[in-house]
Chain A
Amino acid sequence: MTTETLIWLIPLPPLLAFFLIVLFTNRSRGLSHTIAIGAAFLSWLGSMVVFLRAIQTHELGKHPFSASIPWLPLGEGWFSIGVLIDPLGAATLFFVAWTILMIFIYSVGYHNYGQPEGDHDRKGLPPHGATVVDEHGHQHTVPSVEPMYSRFFAFIGLFAFGMYLLVVSDNLLTLFVGWEIMGLCSYLLIGFWYGKPSARAAMIKAFITTRVGDVFMLLGIAYLYSQTGTLNFREILYSQEVLDSLASTPSYIAGLSAAALIGILLFIGTVGKSAQFPLHVWLPDAMEGPTPVSAMIHAATMVSAGVYMVIRIFPLLSAGSHHGALTAPMIVMAIIGAGTALFAATIAVAQNDIKRVLAYSTISQLGYMVAALGIGAYIAAAFHLITHAFFKALLFLGSGSVIHGMEHGVLHTDDHIDPQNMLNMGGLRKKMPITFWTFLIGGFALAGFPLVTAGFWSKDEILADAFGHAHYGVFITLALAALLTAFYTMRQITLTFLGEPRTKAAEHAQETPWTMTLPLVILAVFAVSAGWVGIPEHFPLLGGVVPNWFHEFVGETLLEKPKGVEFNPIPLLTSIVVALGGIYLGWLVYRNVKAGEVDPLEKPLGALYPVLRNKYYFDELYELIFIRPSIWVSEVFTYLWIDRKFIDGILHVVADVSVKVGAFLRNYIDKPVVNGSGDLVADVTKSSGRSMRVIQTGRIQQYMMMALVGFVVLSGIFYYIVQRMGVQ
């Protein structure tokens, strides 16, 4: 099989699985997850083969794997759709395939496969547990299987299809198709437990917020197409001519080139999808979905897709840049990215829900990547995208495992506490050792623990790039964010796993089954090793021992391979200090939190704490400035005032006047003559429609007569005018 054929086939198995499960096997849980995981495995296998062939291909950047077929006839020629795997695509495919397969396997355990059905479980609500009687006659409450088990696998199958489609696309349009499919699936999956009102609200919020970004992206696509007549990556991004002409064409907005405006519009799509400020509000609420969904959406796939897209179109974003000067879209990205990175990190510090901390951390890390791209650190951004996908998927799955273990404790002790609140945990390292160690690895990678973790290498590269190119503002912001990241990560680890259990439920927490821990272990391996492929050449001691393969490989995607920055000890020292300092501080502050105590930071932070805790009141602000006014505009202004009062009002006045005029004419001027059609029209115009009552008697002939009369009258007028004016 040629590599191109294989690439075409990669997205299909999950799609097929979706249809198979929905149509045929939704009654059998085992069959459904076998099909879904089998499909994910096939896609994974295909991806690995493609990846291996890609890294063996000499100069893949110049000769990527690609193929296309004509699909939509537009303008002069056909719009072709096809597949493309270049170095960036191959690297993305690698991490997407691994994380998706792991998440699929994990879902089996997470949804309690093999457990009894719940006593009172209903579709659309999380399982509440089942009562079983053991051989000694004791009653136990154990976790029960998810009531919509098969449907979950169908949805994630469709989701995986969207992601694979996006990665293998050779053009913006099919990329957008994959993008939208994922948007739809995330809507369905966030609201998977649609019985919970909070989940319903979250699904709507996520969909609408990302849709705002999508609309601008669509405009960007339309603009790009109308400028260049193509949406194919190779024809636009690999062609210096096209890029130059886009960069020199002025756009509708003064001072911006067409390339810049297109870039900004497309970037707004990323702002929505990757939850960047100011469209970040949906992501924390999206935690209402089941945990594997959070990992899918917020680590491996959907949010990464946003960053992947901007990395993909980087040549367009930087078109027209001379000697490393930043273009308008790059400045926008640097500001929004760095700002989001810091802003979200501060919120994460004050969250107590284990998943919400990770959600804000994701927003913050995505901001890192966006900022990196904004300052032109193309490879660093791609590198962080990949390492982050591994360790964040690990952390989300790990947190799911913690919640699962806690739920077990809650059911066992009948102590109804919130199993997601970290203040209710503590001491879980003894109960859940595998989860603990893997979570620790993931957490340290996120914190950027020096040398051994993947997160260190990718984060360090971003900081080194920012410093090396003298973007000190970005450098300082990101360094501060890194400090906070290390702090809240250690806070999370300390509160969850270290110290003593703070509740009875935490005492009875239990390690999760192998289907959940195996993916954790595999992802943990990547959370460490994924960093080794990108160690800079000039790094003290380690540099050059392992070649900087990632830089060489992915760098080829660009027309002009970017140069690595000179080694400088300042950013390196900074990243080591913030990582270790943050970790130490986190441990120091939270190591002694006792049961029932509040967060130790609450007092010293004073008035700032509630602000952070309430996420800077953005939800409330948006409610006030967007949601309420738009309801008012639609309900009161447009519908009631304009539509019903003004337009209909005019109509009714006209009708009324014509009735009155008719009455006047009839009574005072020409009663016998105006008895005909004019009066009829005027009379029935009145909304009361009194004369229409005749119709309900069912005398069809009358209607026919009316139709005929109307027609004859019209023809009569016509004929009269024709006769009068004469035929020339």
Chain B
Amino acid sequence: MQFPILSFIVFTPIVAALIIFLIPEDRKGEVRVAALAASAFALVLSIWVYFAYDVGVGGYQFVEQVSWIPALGISYKVGLDGMNAPLVLLTGVVMFTGVLISWGIDDRPREFFTFLFILATGVFGVFVSLDLFMLFFFYEIAVFPMYLLISIWGWKETREYAAMKLTLYLFVGSVIALVGALAMYFTAGLGTFDMLELERAGFSREFQILWFPFVFIGFGVLGGIFPFHNWSPDGHVAAPTAVSMFHAGVLMKLGAFAALRVGLMLLPEGAKFHMGWIILLTLVNVVYGAFIASVQTDFKYVIGFSSVSHMGLVLMGFATLTREGFIGSGIQMFSHGVMTALFFAVVGMVYDQAHTREIPKLGGFRKVMPMVAIAFIIGGLVSMGMPGFSGFIAEFPIFMGVWKSYPLIAIIAAISIVITASYIIRVVGRVFYGKMPEEFEGHVHDVTVLDKIALLFLSFILIALGVFPGWMVPLVESGVDTILRLLGGA
């Protein structure tokens, strides 16, 4: 048996969470150190496994299988392919940088990191699961701590409302998807939750057409699909910085990814039937999110709605059912994850100093925190799809795919690029340039070294992917081949 690297990645956070929980509450320093060590360990493992994946061979690698409830055909089965490998890496990156920028949390850090790490295990688990039951199991593990993290450490004004809204949306979404999944399990009659087997179950066309919307929309809720996106900006805003990073950076990908894995890959005929109208929903996402982002005055809401817009692009890429669309979406999930983590980190840093997120009240922050300004601008360029940054590598194939199947939608969706540029430069101009209000002079300071490391790391990834896309695109492509095979070479 080979070294169970994926299990190590999945369970490192939760084991770390247990260890952290055993540390006495008042030893906050030790808690932080333990958290950093664990997240660094998970990061190293995820980088290692990412680069150890053999693109030439393709398919699922590092597969582990342990039977769990044989009577029901439930087993712990994990594996890595071209679609989830970037997401595992993404989770490692966000977890590590999230810990770095949460160093300053002084309100019960022990519990905070415990919940955050439980969440991380859930996220890793969903990404690598090859068993439908385990996927749901990890999914719930990821969703529950979110509620606690937001309602305890969140922004006082809206945290209870937002946490509840988020939990209800996600819970309802997952129940809808679960119904679809159970339907698949029983109809297949194979007595197994193994997704690789279910792929070959040969569901009838009628069955697929009936159940596809349940699964896709159910998970799509977590991906922020219109009109079920409303939990996400509220949730992002209410959450503490590291949780926003996780939330927008990783958790939303969970929805998109599960919609792909369970919806599209298991019910390909259903996907072909329904994508015509689903792409319209995603179009609304893309344009509508950008429009709303452009008029928000709360810095964090701007980023929150921009996430709705960018996640719409991910789902739109899926909905094209083209090779280019899938490749673009696969990269967009990673690129947007890193970018939005960077954005929320920056918002958090500004808020910590200014104690307000109202854009008209801010200004001139470039002078005191130059690196934060540069990092935000880099993120902004990614979000505008500027060539040379990862956003372009992701969005160009998506638009190509959309154009192939629905040129009119491509044109309308392209409007969002202009609007995105407008709100990003508005934020850059107002928050980082312009005149600093009197009351901030002398009271606002630069961020810590740890914050800078986090920003530098995230910016580096965005540029590295933009300039040398060769370290990710072939990998995602190999994953896309699998999907296209299931779709019948469409």
A71-B469 in contact given A219-B399, A692-B164 (Cβ < 8 Å): yes
Query: How distant is the Cα of A200 from the Cα of B108 in the complex, in angstroms?
Result: 44
Most chain B beta-carbon contacts within 10 A, residue among A225, A638, A695: A638
Looking at the complex, which one of B161, B418, B473 makes contact with A208 (CB distance below 8 Å)?
Answer: B418
- What per-residue 1/0 map shows which CB atoms of A205-246 lie under 8 Å from chain B? 001100110111011011101100000000000000000000
Complex contact B387–A707 (CB within 8 A): no
In the complex, residue of chain A having the shortest beta-carbon distance to the beta carbon of B400: A222
Which A residues are CB-close (under 8 A) to B294?
A: 634
- Alpha-carbon distance A200/B399, docked complex (angstroms): 31
Q: Say how far B167's CB is from chain A's closest CB, in angstroms.
A: 9
A568 to B294 Cα, complex, angstroms: 57
Q: By the criterion CB–CB under 8 Å, are B417 and A211 in contact? A: yes
- Give B419-436 as 1s and 0s: 1 = Cβ < 8 Å from A's Cβ atoms: 101100110010001100
Q: Cβ of B230 < 8 Å from any Cβ of A? A: yes
Number of A-B residue pairs with CB-CB distance less than 8 Å in the complex they form: 159
CA distance A643 to B477 in the complex (A): 36
The answer to whether B400 and A226 touch across the interface, beta carbons within 8 angstroms, is yes
- Given A176-B387, A215-B418, are A707 and B144 neighbors across the interface (CB < 8 Å)? yes
CA distance in complex: A73, B296 (Å): 38
Chain B 386-407 per-residue mask, 1 if CB under 8 angstroms from chain A, else 0: 1110000100110110011001
**What bracket does the count of chain B residues touching chain A fall in?**
35 or more
B221 at the A interface (CB under 8 A):
no
A728 within 8 A of B: yes
Question: Is there contact, CB below 8 Å, between A204 and B189?
Answer: no
Rounded to whole angstroms, the CA-CA distance of A287 and B216 in the bound complex is 51
Residue A598 CB within 8 A of the other chain: no
Q: Check A49 for interface membership: any CB of B closer than 8 A.
A: no
Mask: chain B, 162-173; 1 = CB below 8 Å from A; 0 = not: 011100100000
Q: Which of B128-173 contact A (CB under 8 A)?
A: 140-141, 144-145, 147-148, 151-152, 160-161, 163-165, 168
- How far, in angstroms, from A631 to B324 measured CA to CA in the complex? 33
Contact with B along A177-208 (1 / 0, CB 8 A): 10011001001000000100000100110011
Q: Which of A208, A252, A689, A698 has the most CB of B within 10 A?
A: A689
What is the CB-to-nearest-CB distance from A196 to chain B, in angstroms, rounded to a whole number? 12
- CB <8 Å contact, A727 and B191: yes
User: With A75-B323, A727-B191 given, is the CB distance from A643 to B292 under 8 Å?
Assistant: yes
Looking at chain A's contact residues, the main secondary structure is: helix
Q: Decide if A647 touches B403 in the complex (CB within 8 Å).
A: no
Is there a chain B Cβ closer than 8 Å to A625's Cβ? no
Report if B280 contacts A (CB, 8 A).
Answer: no
- Which residues of the other chain, A, contact B288 by a CB distance below 8 angstroms? 638, 642-643
User: Are A707 and B145 touching (Cβ within 8 A)?
Assistant: yes
| Closest A residue, CB atoms, query B467 | A71
Among candidates B147, B327, B415, B422, residue contacting A74 with C-beta atoms closer than 8 Å: B327
Contact between B387 and A177, CB atoms less than 8 A apart: yes
B182 at interface by CB-CB < 8 Å: yes
A2: Cβ under 8 A from any B Cβ: no
Q: Is A630 an interface residue (CB 8 A)?
A: yes
Contact stretch, chosen from A312-320, A498-506, A573-581, A710-718: A710-718
Distance between Cα atoms of A696 and B178 in the complex (Å): 32
A225 & B469 in contact (Cβ 8 Å cutoff): no
Q: Bound state CA distance, A211 and B418, in angstroms? A: 6
Q: A74-B327, A180-B387, A219-B414 are in contact. Are A728 and B191 (CB under 8 A)?
A: yes
Contact A212 B418 (CB under 8 A): yes
A72 an interface residue at 8 Å Cβ cutoff? yes
Contact residues, B325-356 vs A (CB, 8 A): 327
Q: Give residues of chain A (113-150) contacting chain B, Cβ–Cβ below 8 Å.
A: 124
Q: Is the CB of A215 within 8 A of B295?
A: no
Q: How far is the CA of A49 from the CA of B400 in the complex (A)?
A: 39
Indicate if A541 sits at the interface (CB-CB under 8 A): no
Cα–Cα distance between A230 and B421 once the two chains are bound (Å): 28
B103 in the interface (beta carbon within 8 A) = no
List residues of chain A with CB within 8 A of the CB of B400: 222, 225-226
* Contact of A173 with B by CB under 8 A: yes
Q: A176-B387, A222-B396 are in contact. Are A73 and B470 (CB under 8 A)?
A: yes
* Interface flag for A687 (CB, 8 Å): yes
Which residues on the A side are within 8 Å of B191 (C-beta)? 727-728
Q: B401 to nearest A CB, angstroms?
A: 8
Q: Does B23 contact A (CB under 8 A)?
A: no
Q: Which of the residues A222, A639, A714 comes within 8 Å of B140, measured between beta carbons?
A: A714
| B306-318 interface bits toward A, Cβ cutoff 8 Å, 1 = contact, 0 = none | 0000000000000
User: Quick one: given A208-B422, A721-B182, are A180 and B386 in contact (CB under 8 Å)?
Assistant: yes
Least CB distance, A701 to chain B, in whole angstroms? 11
Task: Tell me, in angstroms, the Cα distance from A221 to B294 when the chains sit together.
Answer: 27
Whether, in the assembled complex, A620 has its beta carbon less than 8 Å from a beta carbon of chain B, the answer is: no
Q: Bound complex: CA of A184 vs CA of B227, how far in Å?
A: 34
Contact across chains for A635 and B411 when beta carbons are under 8 A apart: no
A647→B404 contact, CB < 8 A: no
Instruction: Enumerate chain A residues within 8 angstroms of B404, measured Cβ to Cβ.
Output: 226
The verdict on A695 contacting B418 (CB below 8 Å), with A223-B407, A226-B404 known, is no
Knowing A208-B422, A647-B230, A685-B164, the reply to whether A184 touches B151 (Cβ < 8 A) is no
Interface contact A73-B473, CB-CB below 8 Å: yes
Q: For the complex, is A539 an interface residue (Cβ under 8 Å from B)?
A: no
Q: Which residues of chain A (57-78) have a CB below 8 Å from chain B? A: 70-75
- What is the CA–CA distance of A696 and B170 in the complex, to the nearest angstrom? 23
Assembled-state Cα–Cα distance A689/B165 (Å): 11
The minimal Cβ–Cβ distance linking A311 to chain B, given in whole angstroms, is 22
| A651 is an interface residue with CB less than 8 A from chain B | yes
Given A73-B477, A204-B425, A218-B414, answer yes or no on A727-B72 (Cβ-Cβ < 8 Å): yes
Given A71-B469, A73-B474, A222-B396, the answer on whether A728 and B189 have CB atoms closer than 8 Å is yes
Q: What 1/0 mask marks residues of chain A from 563 to 575 whose CB sits below 8 Å from any chain B CB?
A: 0000000000000
| Alpha-carbon gap, A728 to B403, bound state (A) | 45
Point out the residues of chain B lying under 8 angstroms from A211, CB to CB.
384, 417-418, 421
A710 to B143, CA, bound (A): 11
Whether A689 and B429, one on each chain, are in contact in the complex, defined by CB atoms closer than 8 angstroms, is no
What chain B residues lie within 8 Å of A714 (beta carbons)?
140
Query: How far, in angstroms, from A176 to B396 measured CA to CA in the complex?
Result: 12
Question: Are A689 and B230 within 8 A (Cβ)?
Answer: no
State in angstroms the CA–CA spacing of A703 and B150 once bound together.
Answer: 12
B291 near A: Cβ within 8 Å? yes
Q: List 5 A-B contacts (CB under 8 A).
A: A73-B470, A187-B425, A215-B418, A681-B168, A698-B152
* 20 extra interface residue pairs, beta carbon distance < 8 Å, beyond A177-B387, A218-B396, A714-B140: A73-B473, A194-B429, A211-B384, A211-B417, A219-B403, A219-B407, A219-B410, A219-B414, A226-B324, A631-B295, A634-B419, A639-B295, A643-B288, A647-B230, A648-B230, A695-B151, A706-B147, A711-B140, A727-B71, A727-B191
Q: Pick the 4 closest A-B CB pairs, nearest first.
A: A689-B160, A634-B291, A177-B387, A222-B400
